[in-house]
Structure 1
Amino acid sequence: MGLAASPGGRPGSGGPRSLPDPSRRLDPAPDETRPPWPSPLLSRSRYDIDRVSARTGELAVALKGSCLCGKVTYEVDQLDSPIGHCHCKTCRKAHASPYTTTAGVLRSHFRITGGEAMLQAHESSPGKLRKFCSGCGTHVFAERPAQPHIILRVATLDEDPGQRPEFHIWVSHRVAWLDPDCPSFPEWQPGR
């Protein structure tokens, strides 16, 4: 399905039917601002990544995600900050993992589409709520309710977000036993 565009190329303006130029970057909608992550580490946002499919010329569809049992489901329109790995002790304990992979998403770009009643919260530090499925325990996102964004647990996405992690934070908490150079196998190790 094509997108209606004005001569300026804005979809949905009711102008003649045309496809956007896939090489052109889309600006955020006028009522949106750049994400609230002022940091030299976060020099690029999802706004700078092309949201037009080179194959079809249409706007990209929302990314879908879910918990392990599938009862909590959500959609995100875009990731509004780069993906990063957090090694802090709190994330390690919450996820039972050496680090967790996160990205900021503006609330206006995030929707729970199923199982909202299954979500429970744990206040891991003052004002920070970690939201998880009460059925399977999957930690889906974290939030500080007064902030305009949530912190998505990227591993809960059901598809590739089209970005790669750009940084590690809290490496002062990194576990000594994490060894990225140990042998890797596509599935189970031989002899299992």
Structure 2
Amino acid sequence: MKKWIITLISGALVTMSYAQEINHQNTLRLGLNRAFFGSGDIIGPALYVEYSRELNSFLAITPRIMSAYANRNDDNLISHASDFGTSVSLRITPFPYNGFRRIKVDIGGLYHRFIQSYGSVGSVDIYDTVIMSDSNYRKDDLFGFIGSVNISILDNDRFDLGGRLDLLTSLDEGYLNADSFQYGLFFGVKF
């Protein structure tokens, strides 16, 4: 039993010392996503900019600024959702030394301003203004969690190009709500 413990500790120390020898890089990414709000029926574009600072080969700190906007108008019903937020995530690279280093997982905290409006489109007055008698409007400043999976197609010493899948949630009145689901592409510059 002692041999196993000594072997595990030795292996962990060798791995950590190897991780310290690698030249850590920072990455600045720009991304374009497709955002789904509600039950997935309100769809629109989303943009984000993030900076990633590697702590070691396994972990990085990643602050991000993001925005999304979506509309739906059919059958005299109109829906709008928009989101502007910021997050700080811990980026985990589970297997940094082989071909799986291209897969990264982000888990972190999120603050976002969520705006939603919906209602029925009514008649048009003499000034061509649409009358909406039963419209609803909601604006909330929300805190929650963000989870992301990043898969890099191109990952070299200078550039990072790939796809991303995001889930944005919020804590509201004791419940965890899924506010937006997004997927898209990113391009990053390493320095």
TM range (shorter): under 0.3
Larger strand proportion of the pair = 2
